[in-house]
Chains A and B, each alone.
Chain A
Amino acid sequence: MAEAMLDVRVWRGAGDGAFRTYAVPRRANQTVLDVVSWIQRHLDPTLSYRFACRVGMCGSCAMSVNGVPRWTCRTHIAKVAAEGALTVAPLRNLPVIKDLAVDMAPFFAKWARARGQFDPRSGLGSEFARVPPASPERAAADAGIECIGCAVCYSACDVVAWMPEYLGPAALNRAWTLINDTRDGGRKPRLAAVAGDAGCHACHGQEGCRKHCPKSLDPSGAIAGLKRMSALAALKGEI
């Protein structure tokens, strides 16, 4: 019996590149990352892509798979290419360095612009801060802290595509978790950084972030929280 094969189109080159087709043998329990790795090892060693942990923790292997942004290490071929056809491309909304590797610098620059760093408030003392697990703030922060920074949401978001200065779902989700961290003291400058139409208020609730987040987080819910809180701050004249 002939070996079952996959017809794989892979993006080659930088932003002005093109797709090239490869034939890859179908294996049991094969992931998209397995397919990409097989091409590099057996067909073309110059193929560039990124991965590290292979178990959905590091957030480095995200690619566009059949037009949908996904973490490739945990995306099974059986799920996305049942008919044997697969298209793998670099993430949308980020500059392409080469082949499947995008430049993540603009993505993380926006985390910094959204003040995504912990800013301890004064008077925390030397004791461990007590954060009651059942408090609403803790629950709100919990909902977003499992983000692995893979940029799938950023790649899925059309507002990012239309308004390149928009901070995007991941940076805003990060800001929301910090705002709900009772040890953090940077609320006002952070709200000022995320408000307006380069920030949370540009979101239209398309919810591509919520739909495609591989960790099943809800950045659109976090963005909605930021909208309410910064609107209240604007009314009070705090931002």
Chain B
Amino acid sequence: MSEARSIPAWRSRMHPSWIAFLIHRLSGLALALFIPVHFWALGRIVESEAALDAVLAWSAHPLVKLAETGLVIALALHLAGGIRLLGVEFALWRGRPGAAFAGMIGFALAAGLLFLLNAVSG
């Protein structure tokens, strides 16, 4: 006997807590890939200020700014998703999953928008 693998299950996942889980996992993966690069770039200050400035100058490019905004959003999403999970696990909050999800998205978009506006303002 085996399980029926070809039965689709995606519709059973379309609810706030599952989507919050997915976002939490993807943002966590993105951060885990980015953080070593981030540490490496900051570590260049050990060599010289000029070395870090070279990295920072590169980051002034609009596309890089946009990517940075993406990372800020990923960080804020992972933070909010983590708080959601800690809230569930430590019984700090047991309200409607949709409210937690909305808070998570709202917080992350607000953080990303604030960062982007500050990044492009002279």
Contacts and interface: CB of A to CB of B under 8 A. Distances in A.
Interface of A: 11, 14-18, 64, 66-69, 89-90, 92-97, 103, 156, 158, 161, 204-208, 210-212, 218, 220-221, 224-225, 227-228
A207 B17 contact: yes
Given A208-B13, A224-B89, 10 more contacts: A16-B4, A64-B9, A92-B4, A158-B18, A205-B89, A207-B88, A212-B12, A220-B88, A221-B94, A225-B91
Given A11-B7, A96-B2, A206 B21 contact: yes
Contacts of A90: 4, 7
A205 B11 contact: no
Nearest to A157: B12
Contact of B1 (A18, A67, A95): A95
Contact of A67 (B8, B15, B20, B21): B8
B88 A224 contact: yes
B90 interface: yes
B3 interface: yes
Contact of B2 (A16, A67, A221): A16
A89 B12 contact: no
Interface of B: 1-13, 15, 17-18, 20-21, 24-25, 84-85, 88-91, 94, 97
B90 A224 contact: yes
A227 B87 CA distance: 13
B5 A15 contact: yes
Contacts of A228: 89-91
Given A221-B94, A224-B88, A228-B91, A67 B11 contact: yes
Contacts of B97: 207, 210-211
Contacts of B9: 64, 67, 92, 161
A67 B17 contact: no
Contacts of B3: 15, 92-96
A210 B9 CA distance: 16
A68 B12 CA distance: 5
Main SS of chain A's interface residues?
mixed
A205 B85 contact: yes
A40 B83 CA distance: 49
21 contacts: A14-B2, A64-B7, A67-B10, A67-B12, A90-B4, A92-B3, A92-B4, A92-B9, A93-B3, A96-B3, A96-B4, A103-B1, A205-B20, A205-B21, A205-B89, A206-B17, A206-B21, A207-B18, A212-B12, A218-B94, A224-B88
A69 B90 CA distance: 28
A208 B2 contact: no
A82 to B, nearest CB: 14
A94 B24 CA distance: 28
B32 to A, nearest CB: 16
A210 B17 contact: yes
B80 to A, nearest CB: 13
Nearest to B19: A206
Contacts of B24: 204
B2 A95 contact: yes
Given A204-B85, A224-B90, A228-B90, A211 B5 contact: no
A90 B85 CA distance: 31
